[in-house]
Amino acid sequence: MARKDILAVLITMVPCFLLFGSTSAQLSVDYYSKTCPNVEDIVRKEVIQILSVAPSLAAPFLRMHFHDCFVRGCDGSVLLDSTKSNVAEKDAPPNQSLRGFGAIERVKAKLEAACPNTVSCADVLALMARDAVWLSKGPTWQVWLGRRDGRLSLAGETNELPPHQANLTQLIQIYAAKGLDLKDLVVLSGAHTIGTAHCSTISSRLYNFTGQNNLNDVDPFMDKNYIAKLRSKCSPTDQKTLIEMDPGSYKTFDNSYFKYVAKRRSAFHSDWALLTDSFTRAYVLKHADGFESEFFQDFAESMIKMGNVGVLTGNQGEIRKKCYIVN
């Protein structure tokens, strides 16, 4: 079966029961059919052009949607700028490495020209994340639309994001607070198959895992050969160097992430934590050996589920004209 046919099957297989809650039930796949019928074509055309010039933005688009949904729900709050009286989410430490804000404004401007005051920034993020995955040779899915944009963004609330050094108990609690279960946790972690990370995010695993601050103080759960390889790239104080999250295929959305986790060669401690639970470990080991189409289907379903977390609908919030500032 050709990839195009497989992707078409994936679109139709995603069940509608994944929508939950009274607000998410107001979303629909044809929300803009009368008010902005070409919304998906406009977004995809722009994302194709953007990634043709800057392919490394695919992972940041996906990450941006993730970081948006885990704080105040999928309401575009991660896009708002700080003001004199408020530090916004984007300027909090967990979000200071986010990229692609300008590209999002570019897509939003195209939509404003075609359909003024109609498409929310939250929906733009959801569509761009989907298209970024698909253009990275990953799955596609129907994006349920109709989200409204929030008017508030608080840096202090980014503590709701899953930290890269978290253990599985912490991750389960954070995901459960968003209505996401253990399967969603392991499946969405598979997003780490694309993109890069700064050396500073893994430095403690390589040099100062328990605070002893010596060269032998490493994460005992990371493969020793992989530690040596990462140390050759990352010094203890390196803040700028990037490492591939999925070495060798970090621009391609596939199941190889699970192969690295199984070998204890994942970048984040939170990735390794997936091996500490029988269910998540079984999922990792199964998909380390193949079953990519199953992972793709699971990922599509979990992305739809995550995309409906805490959404604003109806008369809630607003439709921002520019994503970085409230109307």
Residues making up the binding site for Ca(2+)? 68, 71, 73, 75, 77, 89, 193, 246, 254
Q: Which residues does the annotation place in the binding site for substrate?
A: 162
Residue 105 identity: E
Residue 83 identity: T
Residue 136 identity: S
Q: Which residues does the annotation place in the binding site for heme b?
A: 192
Residue 315, both tokens? 């008369």
Residue 69, both tokens? 């949904």
Neighbour tally for 276: CB within 10 Å: 12
Residue 232, both tokens? 């050759």
List Cβ neighbours of 316 (8 Å cut-off, separation of 6 or more): 23, 148
Among 311, 287, 255, 298, which Cα is nearest to 15's? Answer: 298
Can you say whether residue 146 is alpha, beta or left, with left for phi > 0 and alpha for psi between -120 and 50 degrees?
left
Cα 3 off chain centre by: 23
- Pick the catalytic residue: 67, 164, 269, 287? 67
- DSSP for 26-78, written as a single string: G-BTTTTTTT-TTHHHHHHHHHHHHHHH-GGGHHHHHHHHHHHHTTTSSSSGG
Say if residue 107 is exposed, middle or buried (CB neighbours under 10 Å; 0-12, 13-18, 19+): buried
Q: Which residues does the annotation place in the binding site?
A: 68, 71, 73, 75, 77, 89, 162, 192-193, 246, 254
Instruction: Check if 287 is active-site.
Output: no
Residue for token pair 């899915």? 141
Neighbour tally for 106: CB within 10 Å: 14
Residue 271, both tokens? 């990735």
- Catalytic residue numbers read 67
